[in-house]
Structure 1
Amino acid sequence: MNNMKQLTRNAIPEREGWLRSKQTQKWIFLLFAITPAFGGYLLFTLYPNLMSAYYSLLNWNGISDPVFVGFQNYVTLFQDKYVWRALFHNLIYMFFVPAFVILISLLLAYILTNKNYKGTPFYKVIFFFPNVLSSVVVALLWAFIYDGSFGLLNSMLRLVGINIGEYYWLGEIKTALWAIIPPYVWAGVGFYVIIFMNAMVTIPKSLYESAILEGATPMTRLVKITIPLIMPIVRVGALFLVLGSLKGFEHVLILTNGGPAGSTDVIGLYMFNLAFGAEYHNYGYASAVGMFLFIVLVIAKLITDKYITSQTVEY
């Protein structure tokens, strides 16, 4: 009996010593720190994606019993001309939106950083203001701008002598697709101006001074010094913009809902209407379209990684 008590007393200090070790405390801390984020990822990202892959193999409207159809939804998808039309519109947005946002943001950030304007903090707030607004508010604002009867765009054109009457930019097939691009650009420029400015202020002034002594113009300094040194930041921004242009559909939903005659439809909106629209309730086929969009996003990411250099320039 005494021996058992002695063994118990010896085991308690050993256990306490194990808990007090730095290695054990480190793993306990990592467990409590990672579990909430990893659990959220499993619950709200990985699990829905896995279920979407499963639903894509079903013929299911969300109410009746699902019917397993295998890859029939994917066969239908590749024969669906509306999917390819929507993908074409996505590719247009993917090319023009990131290009305009990156170009305008770089120029504005470069000017504000190197000209040392007294009101630079105020300009930062002004440029960032669209990011404070929700996508719904931005879309409604631009819907007012494009309105044919009392829209701001037609009024400005009349002021400069161009009278096109009551032209509805979002109601015409020729202009609706291109009219969607400015809201995306306007909403995205301010954020990247702030990001690029914060990256530019880390560049030593001596590099610009040396370039000025050698006769480099402001544009040459931007292309030869500024952009190469912040290229990793530009690359990440371009990646986010490319993926966002492929996934996003909020502006299109509010401005045109894919019209007129499907001329502004995108994959995200087409998938949304398949699952929740008034005409269709086919969650299985919508999930197949979603998996197709996932593949497109992966391909876009790989292409961006290949053609936008990730090499860091040191000074």
Structure 2
Amino acid sequence: MKEMPVTTPHQGSSWQKKAKFQKLMFILMAITPAFGGYVLFTLYPNILSIYYSVLDWNGIGQKTYVGLLNFKNMFQDYYVWRALWHNILFMITIPPLVIFISLILAYVLTNKSYKGSSILKVVFFFPNVLSTVAVSLLWAFIYDGTFGLLNAGLRLIGLDVGNFYWLGEKSTALWATIPPSVWGLVGFYFVIFLNAMATIPKSLYEAATLEGANHMNKLFSITIPLITPIIRVAALFLMLGVFKGFENILILTNGGPSGSTDVIGLYMFNIAFGSGSHNYGYASAIGMFLFVIMVGAKLVIDKFTANKSSEY
């Protein structure tokens, strides 16, 4: 009989070290591209922003150290606080509307049998396929005073507002920027809630039906409690995204008329890259302020929306 080779303790230890080294190299090769991108495009710019926030610099000329002067000027800047108020207004209106509409649409398509339900899913998700620029331009046409669909629709029901420019009046411009944001965001969260509801056993709804529960009872007693963690994450992403976003405002109104739709991200952008003099230092100070607010908002959301999961 042929004898089996005997592995000495030294050889076994060497093989284990080689396996660990190969595993370590594989992990490094796997995470290096993602981590490198994070360092290059997120961490490094943020560190530079901290450095720029204590400078008086236009991005080209000589850098001048000013210490905390940019922050002092920022806290005394009326336009910063006006823009911040607009951000807060968007943060308390857009996320609840998006979540409410997305939940209702997802629940209806999950618990109702429609022949064209697959087509409806595509229709509801379609706005999310469009870019922010396309959505904003579409709604700018809807709000147009001369050729806009909104004024035409109002005339059809007997409300003739003339050539009213919804984005050109202080009384309506700010509120008119909310529907484009809601319309553009509903599709994404509709799909998320739809997939979450698909995991809920049908037997729970059948048992509730036998006990005489209507759709409202099922929604608030079964569906929402079971997908609460998903709703919590959606609310967090919506609030932070709405707070820092400004692309649609830039295209719809560019902060006008007379700053009535300005948000803090757009104000910072115009200071750094807008027409006239550029002040990267002051814009970076506003960016640091925005970062602190977003971290604080995240902590508040975590505190008042406990991460509780329901089991079935």
| Shorter-normalised TM range | over 0.9
What pairs with 1:1-315 in structure 2 (closer than 5 Å)?
17=15, 20-21=18-19, 23-315=20-312
State the 1:18 CA deviation. 5.3
**Alpha-carbon distance in structure 2 between the residues aligned to 1:84 and 1:144:** 30
Deviation digits for residues 115-147 of structure 1 (CA, Å, limit 9, x no counterpart): 022222211111111111111111000000000
**Alpha-carbon distance in structure 1 between the residues aligned to 2:116 and 2:300:** 39
Percent identity over paired residues: 64
Shift in alpha-carbon separation, 1:281–1:202, aligned structure 2, 3 A:
same
State the 1:245 CA deviation. 0.7
What is the alpha-carbon root mean square deviation over aligned residues?
1.6
Secondary structure, counterpart of 2:307 in structure 1 = coil
Letter in 2 for 1:177: L
Could you say which residue in structure 1 is the equivalent of 2:5?
A: none
Pick which of 34-43 and 139-148 moved more.
34-43
Unaligned runs of 5+ in 1: 1-12
Pick which of 47-56 and 300-309 moved more.
300-309
**Alpha-carbon distance in structure 2 between the residues aligned to 1:288 and 1:88:** 18
State the 1:20 CA deviation. 3.8
Letter in 2 for 1:17: W
Secondary structure, counterpart of 1:244 in structure 2 = helix
| Mapped contact 1:77–1:288 kept (Cα < 8 A) | yes
**Alpha-carbon distance in structure 2 between the residues aligned to 1:289 and 1:62:** 16
Moved over 4 A (4+): 13-16
What is the TM-score when the length of structure 1 is the normalising length? Answer: 0.93
| Mapped contact 1:258–1:264 kept (Cα < 8 A) | yes
Deviation digits for residues 191-244 of structure 1 (CA, Å, limit 9, x no counterpart): 111110000010011111111111111011101110010011111111111011
Could you say which residue in structure 1 is the equivalent of 2:4?
A: none
**Alpha-carbon distance in structure 2 between the residues aligned to 1:164 and 1:258:** 24
Unaligned runs of 5+ in 2: 1-10
**Alpha-carbon distance in structure 1 between the residues aligned to 2:80 and 2:138:** 29
Shift in alpha-carbon separation, 1:44–1:15, aligned structure 2, 3 A:
farther
State the 1:176 CA deviation. 0.3
**Alpha-carbon distance in structure 2 between the residues aligned to 1:15 and 1:284:** 57
Deviation digits for residues 122-179 of structure 1 (CA, Å, limit 9, x no counterpart): 1111111111111111100000000011100001111111111111000000000000
